[in-house]
Amino acid sequence: MKKEVTNKVRKWNIKLLVIALISMTWLGLYEPIPLEADSAVGGPKLAVLVDGRKVKFQGGDPVFENGRVQVPLRGIGEALKAEIGFSGKTVTYMKDGKSIALTLGSREAVVNGKNVTMDTAAKAVKGRTYVPLRFVSENLGVPVNWDKVGNWVWIGSKEVPTIDEAGIEKLPLSKRFIDLVSTKKFYIDNKSGVQIFTLNDLPLEIGDRIIYDVWPVKFGEYQSLRIRYSNFRANIFYLGDQVRSRGNTNYLINKDKSVTITYQTTSEGDDLRDGDRNYKSFKLNKALYIGFDIGTDSLVLLQNPFK
């Protein structure tokens, strides 16, 4: 009998400890755990940014091949504001007095009237012509930087727009959003509206930080969410059938001083804190929005791209 009571007390103490850790993490009192060795499967999607804005290629995404990024020929030309011409299998770009001519399947190019040998060729990918990104951009006079952390190519300026500069409209805080946060109304305290952005709108400067990118990862069978910020400490919440709060419990400090934070998807805290006995059934695709609790005067939501 005494052993049974002792076991019950031990289990209760463990439960109290878990609740305390969850509470301290959410309140920012518990120091998150740095990840020494990263076993996550999944990473950020390859993207190209021109002057801090993500290029939306029509009909095909950038591809990474043999250490080189190749992109649809028209999309990069338009993003760089170059004139584009076609003659048979040859495409030409002209910008600020500079010119490039590339021929499909050939490593020989003509730059400002001179023959140049490239280390890769323009090629056909699913019926579309792809060209070597760095070669085109740098020979048109626009610098290129590879962001290994984000799996991004930055072209031109790295200045990131604020959420308002990007044209993300502030909508009224309608009954729909008030109802969605009904179980945790403190999320809308002192909020004057709601701003909803998409994954393609990133990166954005919101409040006192930049949100660079968001992507799902897996640790074995367990799914989590990763978000890259310009600085440390940010809490999020999943908004769907109810509000599911998530604190940052581990992080990676990147070489460029940005921070990648991992958030749980399924969490026992939903049961311990909110009494959700079916917490294991929650998956990332069930969230309508991913919310950011970062001290802004708007309810800031990412439309869930992982549904």
Half-sphere exposure at residue 138, Cβ-oriented, CA atoms within 13 angstroms: 10
Architecture of domain 47-155: 2-Layer Sandwich (3.30)
60, 66, 223, 228, 239 from 216: Cα distances, Å: 22, 25, 7, 12, 16
- pLDDT value for 25: 44
Q: How far apart are CA 92 and CA 294, in angstroms?
A: 46
C-alpha atoms less than 13 angstroms from C-alpha of 271 in its C-beta half-sphere: 12
Q: Name which of 54, 45, 58 is nearest 156 in CA terms.
A: 54
Amino acid, single-letter form, for residue 135: F
Distance in angstroms (rounded) separating the CA atoms of residues 297 and 285:
27
Mapped to the 3 state alphabet, what secondary structure does the chain carry?
Answer: CHHHHHHHHHHHHHHHHHHHHHHHHHHCCCCCEECCCCCCECCCCCEEEECCEECCCCCCCCEEECCEEEEEHHHHHHHCCCEEEEECCEEEEEECCEEEEEECCCCEEEECCEEEECCCCCEEECCEEEEEHHHHHHHCCCCEEEECCCCEEEECCCCCCECCCCCCCCECCCHHHHHHCHHHHHHHCCCCCEEEECHHHCCEEECCEEEEEEEEEEECCEEEEEEEECCCCCEEEEECCCEEEECCCEEEECCCCCEEEEEECCCCHHHHHHCCCCHHHCCHHHCCEEEEECCCCCEEEEECCCC
- What pTM did the predictor assign? 0.85
At position 114, the amino acid (one-letter code) is K
Per-residue pLDDT 10s for the chain (307 aa) are 544 545 544 544 444 444 444 444 444 434 444 454 467 889 999 999 999 999 999 878 999 888 889 999 999 999 999 999 988 899 999 999 999 999 999 999 999 999 999 989 998 887 888 999 999 999 999 999 999 999 999 999 999 999 999 999 999 999 999 999 998 999 999 999 999 999 999 999 999 999 999 999 998 888 999 999 998 778 999 999 899 999 876 888 999 999 999 999 998 888 888 888 888 999 999 999 999 998 899 999 999 999 9
Q: Residue 107's pLDDT is what? A: 93
Q: How far apart are CA 203 and CA 183, in angstroms?
A: 30
Could you state, in order of their start, the residue ranges of all structural domains in the chain? 47-155, 162-303
Q: Which residues, in sequence order, are CB contacts of 237 under 8 Å at separation 6+?
A: 184, 187, 243, 244, 245, 246, 290, 291, 293
